[in-house]
A and B are shown apart, each in its own frame.
Chain A
Amino acid sequence: MSKPIINRRESGASWGGPAVNTSRRGQWLQVGLPMAGVAIGVLSIAGPFLATVVRSILVWDGDAVGVSLDNFARLFGDPRFASAAVNTLIAGGLTTFFAMVLGFTLAWLVARTDMPGRGWFETGNLVPFFLSPYVGALSWIYLLAPHGGLIPRLTRNYLGFSLDWLDIYSIPGVIWVLTLFYTPYVYLFVIGPLRQMDAAFEDAARVHGASFWYTLRHITLPLVLPALLSAALIVFVTSAGLFDVPLALGSPRGIRFMPTEIFSLVQYPSDFGRAAAFGMVVLTVTILLTLLQRSFIANRRFDTITGKGYRPRQIHLRRGGRIAALTLECVYIGGAVVLPTAVLLMVAFSKLWTGVFLWRTATLGNFEYVLTKYDLTKTAIANSLFLALTGATIAVALSVLQSYYLTRGNPKHRALVDALLSLPLGIPGIVLGLGFLIMAIRTPLYSTLSIILIAYIARFFPFATRTVTAMFLAISPELEQSARASGASWWQTMRMIVLPLLRPALVAAWLMLFVIFIRELGATILLYAQGTETISVAMVILSERSSGYVAALAVVQLLLLLSAFAIFRLTRTSISQS
Chain B
Amino acid sequence: MSFVHIAHLTKRFGNHTAVGDVSFDVPEGSTLALLGPSGCGKTTILRCLAGLETPDGGTIEIGGNRVFDKVRHVDLMPEKRELGIVFQSYAVWPHMTVAENVAFPLKVRGIAAAERLRRASKMLETVGLKGFEDRSATLVSGGQQQRIALARALIHEPRLVLFDEALSNLDAQLREHMRMELRVLQERLGFTAVYVTHDQAEAFGLADTVVLMNQGTIETSGPARAVFAKPATAFVARFFGMNVLEAKIVGPVAGSNYVDVALNDRVTVRGVAGEKLDPTPGKTVLACIRKESVRADRVSSDGTRPATIEAMSFLGTAEEYIVDIQGVSLRASQPAIGFRRGDAVHVAMAADDWIVLP
Q: Which residues of A contact B (CB under 8 A)?
A: 198, 200-201, 203-212, 214, 219, 222-223, 225, 302, 304-305, 307-310, 313
Contact = CB atoms under 8 A, between A and B. Distances in A.
B104 A210 contact: yes
A219 B50 CA distance: 18
Interface stretch (B78-86, B174-182, B202-210, B299-307): B78-86
26 contacts: A200-B88, A200-B164, A203-B50, A203-B78, A204-B91, A206-B79, A207-B78, A207-B81, A207-B83, A207-B162, A208-B79, A208-B85, A208-B156, A209-B79, A209-B82, A209-B156, A210-B108, A211-B77, A211-B108, A212-B77, A222-B95, A223-B94, A305-B94, A309-B89, A310-B47, A313-B52
Contacts of B156: 208-209
B326 interface: no
Contact of B108 (A214, A302, A307): A214
Residue of B87, B90, B91 ringed by the most chain A CB atoms within 10 A: B91
A444 B81 CA distance: 77
Given A198-B89, A304-B94, A206 B52 contact: yes
Contacts of B78: 203, 206-207
A205 B162 CA distance: 14
Q: Which 8 A-B pairs have the closest CB atoms?
A: A200-B91, A206-B78, A200-B87, A208-B105, A204-B91, A222-B95, A209-B108, A207-B85
A297 to B, nearest CB: 14
B93 interface: yes
A45 B52 CA distance: 53
Given A209-B79, A210-B79, A204 B95 contact: no
Residue of B87, B152, B164 ringed by the most chain A CB atoms within 10 A: B87
Contacts of A203: 47, 50, 52, 78, 85, 87, 91
Interface in B33-91: 47, 50-52, 77-79, 81-85, 87-91
B51 to A, nearest CB: 7
Residue of A208, A211, A310, A313 ringed by the most chain B CB atoms within 10 A: A208
B109 interface: yes
A166 to B, nearest CB: 41
Given A206-B52, A210-B79, A304-B138, A201 B91 contact: yes
Nearest to A206: B78
A209 B105 contact: yes
Interface in B234-252: none
B85 A302 contact: no
B94 A208 contact: no
B258 to A, nearest CB: 47
B89 A208 contact: no
B87 A204 contact: yes
B84 A207 contact: yes
A427 B245 CA distance: 73
B344 to A, nearest CB: 47
B153 interface: yes
A204 B164 CA distance: 11
A208 B152 contact: yes
Contacts of B89: 198, 200, 307-309
B105 A309 contact: no
Instruction: Indicate the size class of the contact surface on chain B.
Output: 20 to 34
Interface string B158-173: 0000101000000000
Given A204-B93, A207-B50, 19 more contacts: A201-B91, A204-B85, A205-B93, A206-B77, A207-B79, A207-B83, A208-B84, A209-B82, A211-B77, A211-B79, A214-B108, A222-B93, A222-B95, A223-B94, A302-B94, A304-B138, A309-B87, A309-B88, A310-B47
Contacts of B84: 207-208
Decide if the interface of chain A is mainly helix, strand, loop or mixed: helix
A208 to B, nearest CB: 4
B287 to A, nearest CB: 38
Contacts of B90: 200
Nearest to A300: B95
A214 B77 CA distance: 13
Nearest to A205: B104
Nearest to A207: B85
Contacts of B88: 200, 309
B51 A206 contact: yes
Nearest to A204: B91
A334 to B, nearest CB: 34
B79 A198 contact: no
Nearest to A198: B89
A223 B108 contact: no
Contacts of B47: 203, 310
Contacts of A310: 47
A450 B16 CA distance: 61
Contacts of A223: 93-95
B76 to A, nearest CB: 11
Contacts of A204: 85, 87, 91, 93, 149, 152
Nearest to A208: B105
A204 B86 CA distance: 8
Contacts of A302: 94-95, 138
Contacts of A305: 94
B155 to A, nearest CB: 9
Contacts of A205: 93, 104, 108
B170 to A, nearest CB: 16
Contacts of A212: 77
Contacts of A198: 89, 91
B138 A208 contact: no
B95 A208 contact: no
Contacts of A200: 87-91, 164
Contacts of B91: 198, 200-201, 203-204
Contacts of A225: 95
A219 B104 CA distance: 11
Contacts of B149: 204
Contact of B93 (A201, A308, A313): A201
A212 B84 CA distance: 17
Nearest to B158: A208
A222 B138 CA distance: 14
B295 to A, nearest CB: 42
A209 B79 CA distance: 4
A223 B94 CA distance: 8
A477 B87 CA distance: 34
A6 to B, nearest CB: 34
